[in-house]
Amino acid sequence: MKPKINSDLDIVQTLEIDQSSGRRKGLKRWFIIALLVIVTVITILFWKKMENSNSVQYRTQEIVRGNLTVIVTATGTLQPTNKVDVGSELSGIIKSVEVDYNDRVKVGQVLAKLDTSKLEAQIAQAKAALESAKAKLLQAQATVSETRSKLSQLQRVWELSNKKVPSQSELDAAEAAFERAKADEASAKALVSQAQATLEAYETDLSKSLIRSPVNGVVLTRSVEPGQTVAASFQAPVLFTLAEDLTQMELHVNVDEADIGKVKEGQKATFSVSAYPNRSFEGRITQVRYGSSTTSGVVTYETVIKVLNSDLSLRPGMTATADIVVKKVENAILIPNAALRFTPPAQEEKRPSTGLVGALLPRPPRSAFRQGEGISTDKKHQRVWTLKEGQLLAIPVTIGSTNGNMTEVVDGDIKPGMKLVVDIVSVGK
């Protein structure tokens, strides 16, 4: 009986071992299934997050109603209304200088004097030559009187002698002598006139030895010192520069060719200078010149702005930046220029859902955003974009004037308060 009992125990032990092994295998199978489910859920959530991160976010800005001022900016220099360069027609040595920088002068006031010793000697010589010419004229006049009397006497004798005496040759000689005497008298008169003109020329030069102011104004520059030699051979040297009236000045600015069509006479302008950075000056355009100038390939046109300078704070030569008001629009619908420059990205091609397996499998990389097509080339007819239920919606508009930051809308289905897309904040990858 014992062998049988031992055999039964062995069978029981064997069966118990098999049952324990089966339970372990079942637990392991369920553990693997649960792990696969967790990994699947995590993978799906990860891909959903990636898809959400690929969504586009936009920045918007509201449409407003207000006034629009269109300006044209140009730079230039300040100049006096009338600037006069004073020189000398004579060559010589500067004897004295009567004025200095910033001195106020009047018309006819002496600015400088030349050494006149040479001119005075020439005048004395010219006066002597004039007196000599006058003496020769008296001598010629006496000769004319003498030859006239002799000719008259011969003619009377010839008549009384019944044309017998004197001879014809004597009469002819007397007449010739009389004519020569008259010619000498005319020559002497010419010499007198010549000597007189020479004297007047020297006297005129003497008067020009005093350099006088031709205008009422201020001395801007002085380019001469006492003892300096002035040589006026081919061109009169500039000794002084005078500004007629510094309370009235001109700002000469260079306007770009793209803006010159908007600039007209009578338009207002404001400008600033580096000397007074916190101060704004006003002026008005008085002239838009047709002549152009080209600098480094840029074509500009000179425009003159009249400026009041009653306190004399502005000085000639200052560099100024001017803003010319070319147009004003009141109570207009205004949109930011960034809304006109915005171009929406092209929509990505939608892929069909492939279920759980497709979510788990890697997909090819998404193509980058492509710029939208069909952009209008008409500068006046544009389109802007707004968001409706998270989607971009195009709105055609007709634009007018712009100041570089805001643009007037002439026509379009928009109103103040509406938000327009101006830029893309972020694009997920």
How would you write the chain as a 3-class SS string?
A: CHHHHHHHHHHHHHHHHHHHHHHHHHHHHHHHHHHHHHHHHHHHHHHHHHHHHCCEEEEEEECEEEEEEEEEEEEEEEEECCEEEEECCCCEEEEEECCCCCCEECCCCEEEEECCHHHHHHHHHHHHHHHHHHHHHHHHHHHHHHHHHHHHHHHHHHHHCCCCCCCHHHHHHHHHHHHHHHHHHHHHHHHHHHHHHHHHHHHHHHHHCEEECCCCEEEEEECCCCCCEECCCCCCCEEEEEECCCCEEEEEEEEECCCHHHCCCCCEEEEEECCEEEEEEEEEEEEEEEEEEEECCEEEEEEEEEEECCCCCCCCCCEEEEEEEEEEEEEEEEEEHHHHHCCCECCCCCCCCCHHHHHHCCCCCCCCCCECCCCCCCCCEEEEEEEECCEEEEEEEEEEEECCCEEEEEEECCCCCCEEEEEEEEECC
Most confident of the following: 17-21, 287-291, 380-384:
287-291
Residue 17 pLDDT more than 60?
no
Tokens 């480094």 belong to residue: 296
Its pTM surpasses 0.75: no
Residue 351 pLDDT more than 60?
no
For domain 72-81+246-329, give the fold.
Answer: Elongation Factor Tu (Ef-tu); domain 3 (2.40.30)
Chain-centre distance for alpha carbon 355: 67
Report the first-to-last Cα separation within the chain, whole angstroms.
Answer: 81
Mean pLDDT throughout 239-253? 93
pLDDT single digits (tens) 292-348: 999 999 999 999 999 999 999 999 999 999 999 999 999 999 999 999 999 887 654
pLDDT single digits (tens) 49-62: 655 555 678 889 99
Query: Which CATH code is given to the segment(s) 84-109+216-244?
Result: 2.40.50.100
pLDDT for 32 equals: 81
pLDDT single digits (tens) 189-234: 999 999 999 999 999 999 999 999 999 999 999 999 999 999 887 7
CA–CA dist 211, 238 (Å, integer)? 11
pLDDT single digits (tens) 143-187: 999 999 999 998 898 888 888 888 888 889 999 999 999 999 999
How far is CA 105 from each of CA 88, 109, 110, 199, 384, rounded to the nearest angstrom? 18, 6, 9, 31, 64
For domain 56-67+334-427, give the fold.
Answer: 2.40.420
pLDDT for 129 equals: 95
Tokens 């006031």 belong to residue: 109
**Which carries the bigger pLDDT value, residue 49 or residue 261?**
261
Our CA angle for 333, 339, 342, nearest 5°, is 160
pLDDT for 19 equals: 54
pLDDT single digits (tens) 85-101: 999 989 999 999 999 99
Tokens of 155: 């003619």
Residue 374 pLDDT more than 90?
no
* Confidence category of residue 38, pLDDT binned at 50, 70, 90: confident
Residue 127 pLDDT more than 90?
yes
CA–CA dist 196, 57 (Å, integer)? 98
* Confidence category of residue 125, pLDDT binned at 50, 70, 90: very high
Give the chain's mean pLDDT.
85
Q: What percent of the chain has pLDDT over 90?
A: 61
- Measured torsion, CA atoms of residues 172, 174, 175, 178, in degrees rounded to the nearest 10: 160
